[in-house]
Amino acid sequence: MSKGFLEIENLSQRFPQPDSSDLMTVFEGVDVTINKGEFVCLIGHSGCGKSTILNVLAGLATPTDGNVIMDNKEITGPSLDQGVIFQNHSLLPWLSARDNVMFAVRARWPNWSKAKRLEHAERYLHMVGLDHAMDRKPAQLSGGMRQRVGIARAFAIEPKLLLMDEPFGALDALTRGVIQEELLKIWSETHQTVFMITHDVDEAILLADRVLLMTNGPHAQVAESVKIDIPRPRTRATLHQEEAYYPIRNHLVDFLVEGAKVMSAKAQEAAARGDNPRHTPRIVNPAKSEAEPEPGPRMVRAV
Amino acid sequence: MLSNLNFRATVLSLVMLVVFLGVWQLATAPEVIAPQQGELSEYEQLMGGGADRSSSSGIPAPTQVFSHAFGELSNPFYDAGPNDKGIGIQLAYSIYRVLLGFALAALIAIPLGFVIGMSPLLNKAFDPYIQILKPISPLAWMPLALFVIRDSNMSAIFVIFICSIWPMLVNTAYGVASVRNDWLNVAKTHQLSNLRTAFTVILPAAAPTILTGMRISIGIAWLVIVAAEMLVGGTGIGYYIWNEWNNLDLASVIFAIIMIGIVGFLLDASLAQATKFVRYAD
C-alpha cells in the first residue's frame, strides 16, 4: 500500500454503555489516506463519530483501535503539527485578536523575537481581513470575525495538518459564504493540508478536493470517497454553473438521505455476523460516471 | 437619561442624609435640666457629677460628633501615650494587621487553591476539612493562637489570616476547576508546558473568580479585626472603640464607627478596581 501523508489505519472507537456490558461501537475499521496539500471534507449525520475522528487526528482523543500516522510519525497526542479550529472559536477572551494569534506564534516559535512574532501574526490577520480589528477583544468582535481570528491563529502556526470541526456551523449564511471564500484564498496561498468536518454539502463542494461520506452510527464507516472534479479557483457565484456541480451534489445528497441509512444497516448486519469491519472507502467520481445508471444500494467492501 | 438618573439618585441620597441627621439632632436636643436636688447619685459622681449633660439621652448630637471628628481628623497622628493616640495611628495599626494577615493568607490560599482546583483527587480529599474549618468563627481561634504564639499582636494577625484564607481558597479552587475545556484544549494543541498553561491560560481565566474571593476575604478581615482588637487590646481601631466606650465618650465611638465604614469601603473599592483589570467579557 502506498504511503500517503496522513494514514488513518483501521480506526475504531467503542464506548462502554450504561445499561449493558457490551461496548457501543461508534465507528470502526476506518482506513483513509490523505495526501499532502489536499483539502478533504468529512460529511455524515450527527452521532456517527465525525468529531471523534477529528479529535483523534488532533491528538485530543485516543481511539479504541487503530492508529494515525502523519508524515511517518504516529499521532499520540496534541501537538503544533496539528492546528485545530473548533466550532466555538475557542479564542482566549482576555487577549486581543492580535495577542490571540501571537499566543500561538509564540508557542510555535518560542525563539523568535517579539518583532518577528508580531509581524508574522499581523500578516495572517491581514489575510483574513482583520487589519482594523486587531486590538479588539473577542467579545467586541462579531461571530464571523471571531472565526476569522481562529482561522488566522490556526494558519499562523503553519501546521502540517489543519483540522476544522464545523468551523462555520454557528455563523449566518451570508457571513459563512464570505469566510468560505476567504478560507479558499488563504488555502490557495498556503496549500495547507486540511481535514474539515461539515454538515453543509455546498460548503464541501466549494472547498474540498475530496469528500468522505460517513454512514450512520452505530458501526459507522467511511463508505465513500467522492472526488470533487471541479477546477479551481472556484467561487460561490459560479460554482453551480459548473457541469460537474449537480451530479456531485445529487450524489452527496442522495447518500445523506438514503445511502447512509442503507449502508449503516448493512454494516450492522456485517458486524452481527462478525465480519472484519476494516474497509477502504469506495472511490467515486460523480462527474465522470454520469452516464452510468445510479447504482442501487452499494455493497460495503471489506478489505 | 443615565446622568439624569444619577442626578436624581444623588439628590435622593442627600435628602435621606439630611432627614436622618435632622431627626438625630432633634432627638438628642438638650432638655431643660432640672436643678440638681440633693446628693449626687453614685453614678453621677462617677460621671463627674452629671455636669456635662449636654443631651437628654447621653447620645451625642450629630453636631457634636462632627466637631469631634473635625478635631480628630485635623490631628490624626498624635501619640500621647498608650491610651491616647490619634485616629490615624489606630486605623493604621488595624489596616497593617488586616493587610499582613490577608497577604499571608493569599500567599497560601491562592497556590493551594490552584493545586486543589487542578486535581479532582485533591479537591475531594481537601473538601471535608475545608467544609468544617470554614464555618468556624475566626475569634474562636484566639485562645489557641494566644497560647501557641504568645503574642497578642501576632495572634490578631493570625485570626485575620485564618478568616481570610477560606474564601480565597474556595474561590481559587472553583475558578481553576471551572476553566473552560476549550481553552485547555487550546493550550494542549499548542503544546504548552503545564507551567505555561497554568500562567498563560488558567490564571487569566480564573483571575476574576480569584479576585472575587480576595474581595470577600478582605471584607471579612475588616469585620473581624475590630472584634479581635477589642479582645487583644493595645492598639487599633477595635481597641480604640472599646477604650472610648470605657471613657463613655460616645462621640468618639460614633466617629470611629463611621471611620470603620469608610476604610472598609475603601478596601473593598480598591479590590473592585483591581478586579476590573482582570475581568474579561466572554
The DSSP line for B233-263 is: -SSSHHHHHHHHHHTT-HHHHHHHHHHHHHH
Could you give the angle at the alpha carbon of A44 between the alpha carbons of A42 and A50, nearest 5°? Answer: 65
| CB-closest option in A78, A86, A90 to B191 | A78
Measure the CA–CA gap between A278 and A69, rounded to whole angstroms: 17
Q: β-strands A6-17, A65-70: how paired?
A: antiparallel
Q: Which of B190, B202, B209 to mutate to test the interface with A (most CBs of A within 10 A)?
A: B190
Measure the CA–CA gap between B97 and B160, rounded to whole angstroms: 8
Residue B65 in any domain: the answer is no
Contact A80 B190 (CB under 8 A): yes
Q: Which CA distances in Å does A289 have to A96, A174, A207, A227, A251?
A: 50, 33, 21, 11, 11
Q: What dotted CATH number matches A1-81+162-172+189-303?
A: 3.40.50.300
Residue B11 in any domain: the answer is no
Residue B19 in any domain: the answer is no
Neighbour tally for B171: CB within 10 Å: 25
Measure the CA–CA gap between B139 and A204, rounded to whole angstroms: 68
Q: Are the C-beta atoms of residues B175 and B210 closer than 8 Å to each other?
A: yes
Contact B189 A92 (CB under 8 A): no
Among A116-130, B37-51, B107-121, whose mean pLDDT is lowest?
B37-51
Bond from prior residue into A167 cis (ω within 30 degrees of 0): no
Helices (H), A114-242: 114-127, 143-156, 173-190, 201-207, 236-239
Q: How many domains, chain B? A: 1
Measure the CA–CA gap between A94 and A137, rounded to whole angstroms: 7
Whether A109 contacts chain B with CB within 8 A: no
Mean pLDDT of chain B: 89
Q: Which of A76, A80, A87, A92 to mutate to test the interface with B (most CBs of B within 10 A)?
A: A92
- DSSP code for A72: T
For A107, nearest residue in chain B (alpha carbons): B190
- DSSP code for A139: G
Mean pLDDT of chain A: 86
Is the pLDDT assigned to residue A297 strictly greater than 50?
Answer: no
Is the pLDDT assigned to residue B92 strictly greater than 90?
Answer: yes
Sheet holding A20-34, edge to edge: A20-34, A6-17, A65-70, A73-74
CATH number at residue B182: 1.10.3720.10
Is the pLDDT assigned to residue B8 strictly greater than 70?
Answer: yes
Residue B263 in any domain: the answer is yes
Q: Are the C-beta atoms of residues A43 and A207 closer than 8 Å to each other?
A: no
Is the pLDDT assigned to residue A81 strictly greater than 50?
Answer: yes
Q: Which of B186, B201, B203 to mutate to test the interface with A (most CBs of A within 10 A)?
A: B186
Residue B57 in any domain: the answer is no
Measure the CA–CA gap between A225 and B179, rounded to whole angstroms: 39
Q: What percent of chain B has pLDDT over 70?
A: 90
Whether A246 contacts chain B with CB within 8 A: no
- Could you tell me if the ipTM is greater than 0.95? no
Measure the CA–CA gap between B250 and B233, rounded to whole angstroms: 19
Domain that holds residue B180: 87-278
Whether B204 contacts chain A with CB within 8 A: yes
Domain range annotation of chain A: 1-81+162-172+189-303, 87-158
Whether A23 contacts chain B with CB within 8 A: no
Measure the CA–CA gap between B118 and B131, rounded to whole angstroms: 19
Whether B191 contacts chain A with CB within 8 A: yes
Residue B233 in any domain: the answer is yes
The DSSP line for B174-218 is: HHHHTS-HHHHHHHHHTT--HHHHIIIIIHHHHHHHHHHHHHHHH
Q: How confident is the model at residue A46 (pLDDT cuts 50, 70, 90)?
A: confident
Mean pLDDT of B107-120: 95
- Give me the pLDDT at residue B222, please: 96
Neighbour tally for A81: CB within 10 Å: 17
Locate cell 481537601: which residue?
B126
Whether A83 contacts chain B with CB within 8 A: yes
Q: How many Å lie between the alpha carbon of A216 and the closest alpha carbon of chain B?
A: 27
- Helices and strands counted in chain B (H then E): 12, 0
Q: Are the C-beta atoms of residues A215 and A282 closer than 8 Å to each other?
A: no
What is residue A262's three-state secondary structure? helix
Q: How confident is the model at residue B43 (pLDDT cuts 50, 70, 90)?
A: low
